[in-house]
Structure 1
Amino acid sequence: MFNQFDLDSALLGGIESAGFKKPTSIQELVLPVAMTGKDLLASAPTGTGKTAAFILPAAQHLLDYPRNKPGFPRVLILSPTRELALQTHEQCEKLTSLTKIKSGVITGGVNYGSHKEILTTNTDILVATPGRLMEYIESEQFDCREIEVLILDEADRMLDMGFIEIINRIIAEARWRKQTMLFSATLEGSAVVRFSREILNEPVFLESNPSRKEKAKIHQWLHIADNKDHKVALLVNLLKQEELSRVVVFANKRETVQYLSGKLYAEEVPCVWLEGKMPQDKRSTSVERLRNGTVKVLVATDVAARGLDIDDITHVINFDLPRTADIYLHRIGRTGRAGNKGTAISLVEAHDMAVIGKVERYIDERLPRRIIEELRPKNKEARVAIKKAKVKKTVAQKKAKAKKQAKRNKK
Structure 2
Amino acid sequence: MTAQTFSDLELDDILIHNLQAENIQTPTVIQAQTIPVALEGKDILGSAPTGTGKSLAFLLPAVQHLLDFPRRKPGPPRILILTPTRELAMQIADQAKRLTQDTHLSIATITGGVAYMNHSEVFSKNQDIVIATTGRLLQYIKEENFDCRAVEMLILDEADRMLDMGFSQDVETISAETRWRKQTLLFSATLEGEGLHDFARRILKDPIEINADPSRKERKKILQFYYRADDLTHKIALLTYLLKQPEVKKSIVFVRKRERVHELVTWLHQAGIQSCYLEGEMVQAKRNEAIKRISNNTVNVLVATDVAARGIDIDDITHVINFDAPKTADVYLHRIGRTARAGKKGTAIMLVEAHDNELLQKIERYIKEPIKLRTIDQLRPKTKAPKPVTKKKPSQKTKLKQASKKKEETKKKKVKLRHRDLKNKGKPKKSIISAE
Same fold, TM exceeding 0.5?
yes
Uncovered stretches (5+) of structure 2, i.e. residues with no partner: 394-436
Q: How does 1:186-225 map to 2 (within 5 A)?
A: 186-208=190-212, 210-215=214-219, 217-225=222-230
1:76-96 Cα deviation digits (max 9, x unpaired):
112233332221111100001
Q: How does 1:311-326 map to 2 (within 5 A)?
A: 311-323=315-327, 325-326=329-330
How much has 1:175 moved relative to structure 2? Answer: 1.1
What corresponds to 2:95 in structure 1?
Answer: 91
Letter of the structure 2 residue corresponding to residue 298 of structure 1: L
How much has 1:240 moved relative to structure 2? Answer: 1.1
Please identify, of 92-101 and 154-163, the stretch whose mean Cα deviation from structure 2 is larger. Answer: 154-163
**In structure 1, what is the Cα distance between the partners aligned to 2:118 and 2:230?**
47
What corresponds to 2:128 in structure 1?
Answer: 124
**In structure 2, what is the Cα distance between the partners aligned to 1:252 and 1:269?**
21
Q: Which one of 135, 139, 142 corresponds to residue 139 of structure 2?
A: 135
Q: Which one of 3, 10, 16 corresponds to residue 20 of structure 2?
A: 16
Q: How does 1:3-402 map to 2 (within 5 A)?
A: 3-208=7-212, 210-215=214-219, 217-227=222-232, 229-276=233-280, 278=282, 280=284, 283-323=287-327, 325-337=329-341, 340-347=344-351, 372=376, 374-375=378-379, 383=383, 387=384, 389-392=385-388
- The answer to whether the 8 A contact 1:322-1:328 is kept is yes
- The answer to whether the 8 A contact 1:130-1:167 is kept is yes
**In structure 1, what is the Cα distance between the partners aligned to 2:372 and 2:165?**
31
How much has 1:127 moved relative to structure 2? Answer: 1.3
**In structure 2, what is the Cα distance between the partners aligned to 1:95 and 1:338?**
14
How much has 1:372 moved relative to structure 2? Answer: 4.7
**In structure 1, what is the Cα distance between the partners aligned to 2:342 and 2:165?**
26
Matched residues, percent identical? Answer: 55
1:5-31 Cα deviation digits (max 9, x unpaired):
443443333223232223333323322
Q: Secondary structure at the match of 1:213?
A: helix
- The answer to whether the 8 A contact 1:13-1:98 is kept is no
Uncovered stretches (5+) of structure 1, i.e. residues with no partner: 400-411
- The answer to whether the 8 A contact 2:357-2:386 is kept is no
**In structure 2, what is the Cα distance between the partners aligned to 1:306 and 1:73?**
27
Aligned pairs, how many? 387
Shift in CA distance, 32/329, structure 1 to aligned 2, threshold 3 Å: closer
Letter of the structure 2 residue corresponding to residue 27 of structure 1: Q
What corresponds to 1:406 in structure 2?
Answer: none
Shift in CA distance, 266/112, structure 1 to aligned 2, threshold 3 Å: farther
Shift in CA distance, 190/221, structure 1 to aligned 2, threshold 3 Å: farther
Q: Secondary structure at the match of 1:94?
A: helix
Q: Secondary structure at the match of 2:229?
A: strand
**In structure 1, what is the Cα distance between the partners aligned to 2:192 and 2:364?**
15
- The answer to whether the 8 A contact 1:76-1:150 is kept is yes
1:223-271 Cα deviation digits (max 9, x unpaired):
43534x5543332122112232221012345554344334323322232
Letter of the structure 1 residue corresponding to residue 231 of structure 2: D
What corresponds to 1:404 in structure 2?
Answer: none
**In structure 1, what is the Cα distance between the partners aligned to 2:345 and 2:75?**
45
Shift in CA distance, 119/95, structure 1 to aligned 2, threshold 3 Å: same
TM-score by length of structure 1 reads 0.79
- The answer to whether the 8 A contact 2:277-2:303 is kept is yes
Letter of the structure 1 residue corresponding to residue 33 of structure 2: L
Please identify, of 87-96 and 7-16, the stretch whose mean Cα deviation from structure 2 is larger. Answer: 7-16
**In structure 1, what is the Cα distance between the partners aligned to 2:175 and 2:77?**
14
**In structure 1, what is the Cα distance between the partners aligned to 2:295 and 2:116?**
27
Please provide the CA RMSD for this pair.
3.5
1:177-217 Cα deviation digits (max 9, x unpaired):
11111223333445444433332223233344644322353
